[in-house]
Amino acid sequence: MYIAGVDVGSTQSKGLIMDDERRILGRSLLDTGANVVKAAERAFALALEDARLDPGDIAYIVGTGYGRYKVTFGHAQISEISCHARGAKLIFPDTRMVLDIGGQDSKAIKVGAEGEVLDFSMNDKCAAGTGRFLVMAASYLDVPLEKIGELSLQAKKPVNITTTCTVFVESEIMSHLARGKKAEDILRGMHSAIASRSISLMSRVGIEEKVTFTGGVTKNIGMVRALEEGLEMTLNVGSESHYMGAIGAALFALERATVLVV
Amino acid sequence: MIITAGIDVGAFTTKVIILDGDEKIRAKTLARTGGDLARASEEVYTQTLEQAGLGRKQVDYIVSTGFGRYLVPFRDIQVTDITSHARGILHYFPHTRSVLDIGAQSTRAFKIEPNGRVKTFRLNDKCAAGAGAFLVRVAHYLEVPLEEMGPLSLQYQEPQTISSVCAVLAETEIINHISAGVRLEDILKGAMTAIADQSIVLLRRVGVEQEVALSGGASKNIGVVKALEERLGQRINCSSNGNEGSLFAGAMGAAILGQIRLPKLHKKL
């Protein structure tokens, strides 16, 4: 039996195909863009292609993420908080907490022994502390987004970024540049700023021993290091981290499909 | 007769007023501040002097205010934005007791006494929500010239809600509205209501009095003025056209404070 999870995020959509042994057979990643329904359809179609399967092979589809109700072909919709917790538990069984930094929000989730959600706190009101802050930093500094993490690790004299607001931080960056500060030193400051906002989000539910980092920002090595430095611990993070919501959605799909078969 | 100058160096625009002892405006100028604050004040001041037909030595006292008040090299003294705005607003709208000042990078609400003293104030300069920067972003997302967004927003049919408080996160919401085929005017109306609601939160913290005035760059935007009046359920003192009190309140207040202070200084000497 095959099942699918489709995670439609504010910035990127992820599709994932799994079999009933919980093996990942195919996955996809694309920008959500303005047409959310189409993004969901494409994420599913590309994941199917990657798994070399047809839509008819899929027993159950769960949609998750900010655009989960736009997964019109899905059998059920489940919140991304539940999905990230469940996905993280499968990939990293020692997970006790999930930090999910997405394109437009961030969440700290306390996870139980079975991958259930015990508590969570969330910021979706303000771009500070989300992937958007990094996107803006990259554009203000004119550095490609995929390079900012690496570059931030080359900082020798990190600057202290005091502005919270993603709009106002532009002037702070400009004044650092005007004073001859290096891009890497400014970037390190930006990464540390997000790390400390994320850590305070985590403290609201209580920081646990083993933290799994999920969401699009996991691809940024500078962010991983800044968080590890701030938390003084090693994070669970890997190539699946970006797909954690879709993995969790597929696990829920498996659960539901199994109930249906029985 | 004493002649004073008030120079209000804002994050976005610099305003200068030259005032004589009869509270008569000799000249006034408004120009973009740009990146070099010291140069901006120098240029706008020189321009205003020329307009007034005055030489530098004929101005007795120069008072600076605004975000860049410490960067006016030729000032005699500086006063805070709130102090100057309170004085200036009372000059233009004498019965005002609550003031909302929406600038490019900050929003302030304050309550004033009949003599122009500031009773209490609240400031937001941490977040672009509720400040002019929010409008600048919205104009950019919608590709509408800043000065046209106010009038356009008044042509709404079914206003859309912009639920994002954050000026950055509002972009996604606006893009979704556009792709859903929502009319530009209806999105703009939503943006005006959003900024009005954000700044009213600040205003309520100091208290909404019978006469409320709006100052700062956002006062030029008729859409913001209307949205504020709708959400407050009362008219507000604002010169979105006609006299320019709402824009020049800071510079005017600074010039008036100069008129008051200079004679006191002479007495001491």
Predicted confidence (pLDDT) per residue in B156-174, tens digit? 999 999 988 899 999 888 9
Interface residues from chain A to B (CB-CB < 8 Å):
10, 34-36, 104, 124-127, 132, 136, 164-168, 171, 174
* Full residue range of the structural domain in which residue B9 is found: 1-78+243-269
Q: What angle do CA B193, B195, B196 make, to 5 degrees?
A: 60
User: In chain A, whose CA is at the least distance from the CA of B166?
Assistant: A126
Predicted confidence (pLDDT) per residue in A215-242, tens digit? 999 999 999 999 999 999 999 999 999 9
| Collapsed DSSP state (helix, strand, coil) of residue A24 | strand
The rounded mean pLDDT for chain B is 92
- Look up residue A159 and give its DSSP letter: -
Cross-chain residue pair B169–A167, CB shorter than 8 Å: no
Cross-chain residue pair B176–A136, CB shorter than 8 Å: no
Residue B175: its H or E element: helix B170-179
| Partner A contacted by B165 (CB < 8 A) | yes
Domain ranges of chain A: 1-92+243-262, 94-235
Q: What is the pLDDT at residue B243?
A: 58
In this predicted structure, the answer to whether residue A262 has a pLDDT above a threshold of 70 is no
| Same fold yes or no, A1-92+243-262 and A94-235 | yes
Domain check: are B44 and B175 in the same one? no
Domain check: are B111 and B133 in the same one? yes
Cross-chain residue pair B105–A168, CB shorter than 8 Å: yes
The answer as to whether B269 is a domain residue is: yes
Determine the average pLDDT of the residues in A48-60. Answer: 97
Interface of B with A in 249-268 (CB under 8 A): none
Domain check: are B194 and B62 in the same one? no
Q: 């941490």: which residue's tokens?
A: B126
CATH 3.90.1150.10 for the A94-235 domain, yes or no: no
Q: ipTM of this model?
A: 0.80
Size of interface A-B (CB pairs under 8 A): 48
Domain check: are B54 and B138 in the same one? no
Instruction: Read off the CATH number of the domain in which B67 is found.
Output: 3.30.420.40
- Output the CA–CA distances (angstroms, integers) from residue B265 to B33, B50, B268, in the order listed: 31, 27, 5
Predicted confidence (pLDDT) per residue in B190-226, tens digit? 999 999 999 999 999 999 999 999 999 899 999 999 9
Residue A73, number of CB atoms within 10 A of its CB: 14
Q: 């030029």: which residue's tokens?
A: B220
CATH number of A1-92+243-262: 3.30.420.40
Q: What angle do CA B236, B202, B70 make, to 5 degrees?
A: 95
In this predicted structure, the answer to whether residue B241 has a pLDDT above a threshold of 60 is no
Cross-chain residue pair A167–B167, CB shorter than 8 Å: yes
Is pTM beyond 0.90? Reply is: no
Tell me how far apart the alpha carbons of residues B58 and B60 are, in angstroms, rounded to a whole number: 6
More confident residue, A124 or A47: A47
Nearest to A88 by CA among A120, A71, A113: A113
Structure tokens at B41: 């004040």
Q: How far is B139 from chain A (nearest CA, A)?
A: 14
User: In chain A, whose CA is at the least distance from the CA of B163?
Assistant: A125
Q: Strands B236-237 and B212-215: what pairing?
A: parallel
Q: What is the pLDDT at residue A59?
A: 96
